[in-house]
Amino acid sequence: MTGPLRRALHHPRVEPHVSAALRGRLVRETARFTLRELRGSIATHVYRLRASGMHVQIAHGTPDVLTLDQAYYQDVYEPPTVVAQALAQRQPLNAVDLGANIGMWGLWLHGRFRVGRLVALEPDPENAAKHRAQIALNDLESSWQLLRAAATCVDAPVAFATGRATTGRIGDVGEPGSVEVDGRDSFALLDGVDLLKIDIEGAEWPLLADPRFSQLEVPVVMLEYHPHGAPSQDPEADAVRALAGAGYHTRTAHAAPDRTGIVWAWRT
């Protein structure tokens, strides 16, 4: 791509049209999706994913669209080849999704591998409602269970900042916007699990520091790390160190300037 063309595509008046068109190609109803994006209004519609044919519910004008983009355009969930091969040999997969948001990872997983059982945790009520819709739209109740709870190290209520779409997190009692939600001991969910996904906006650090993590027998872990609550100013190094200390091989993917990123970890 030439310099002038690149600059033209990133012009403030042009870039939204380009983004809408590219995201529209992720679903079979491309024209309708693109037009709704360009209108800029908040409206909820159901589409079919081009990658898998599964239904997906998207609220335009919300972070749902970015989540769709990350999953199917940026391919942030796609594992390294060595991990994909290991998971393919373990199908049907038993998986746990900590920080399940609106269910996009669950949709991706069902479209990418054969799934025996997926247990998802999501405490935010709005996200959980959207998540349940993804399950129902695809008749996946037999393989996909949503628990409305926060991922913690012990079964006990916690304060959770709701209404933040993809950035809700466990906080302090009395923090503005926080409500009390159930906390679920994540380690109690991991028996017989092939794949563990963790994306809990900083609450990963207590899990990684828990003595039970070093004894984890889950073959593959997908961890999104965050600077909030990290032991040091280098959360990537902190995440890699914790996973390697538990006996995993690691590979970092999608490291971002805001010091978030994904580390894939696997046992051989």
Residues in the chain: 268
Q: What is the pLDDT of residue 84?
A: 97
Tokens 């595509």 found at: 9
* CATH number for the domain harbouring residue 212: 3.40.50.150
Asked if 54 and 129 sit in the same domain, the reply is no
Asked if 167 and 188 sit in the same domain, the reply is yes
Q: What is the pLDDT of residue 43?
A: 94
Residue at a domain's end among 72, 107, 126: 72
Asked if 59 and 110 sit in the same domain, the reply is no
Asked if 167 and 87 sit in the same domain, the reply is yes
Residue at a domain's end among 51, 72, 93: 72
Beta-bridge partner residues of 209: none
Asked if 86 and 14 sit in the same domain, the reply is no
Q: What is the pLDDT of residue 162?
A: 72
CB 150 within 8 A of CB 181: yes
Asked if 89 and 191 sit in the same domain, the reply is yes
pLDDT digits (tens, 9 = 90+) for 204-259: 999 999 999 999 999 999 999 999 999 999 999 999 999 999 999 999 998 999 99
Asked if 63 and 99 sit in the same domain, the reply is no
Backbone angles phi, psi at 230, to 5 degrees: -65, 150
Asked if 148 and 248 sit in the same domain, the reply is yes
Asked if 47 and 85 sit in the same domain, the reply is no
Is the four-CA dihedral 127, 169, 74, 81 of positive or negative sign?
negative
Query: Cα Rg for the chain, rounded, in angstroms?
Result: 19
Q: What is the pLDDT of residue 179?
A: 86
Q: Residue 235 belongs to what domain range?
A: 81-266
Asked if 121 and 97 sit in the same domain, the reply is yes
Distance CA 103, CA 77 (A): 13
Distance CA 76, CA 174 (A): 34
Distance CA 265, CA 248 (A): 6
Residue at a domain's end among 18, 52, 72: 72
Count structural domains, the chain. Answer: 2
CB 100 within 8 A of CB 120: yes
CB 171 within 8 A of CB 150: no
Asked if 142 and 222 sit in the same domain, the reply is yes
- Residue burial 128-166, b: 16+ Cβ < 10 Å; e: rest: bebbbbbbebbebeebbebbbbbbbbeeeebbbbbeebb
Listed as ranges, residues in the chain with pLDDT below 50 are 1, 4-14
Q: What is the pLDDT of residue 10?
A: 41
Asked if 57 and 88 sit in the same domain, the reply is no
Determine the 3-state secondary structure of 151 from DSSP. Answer: strand
Q: Which of 132, 208, 133, 122 is nearest to 162 (CA)?
A: 122
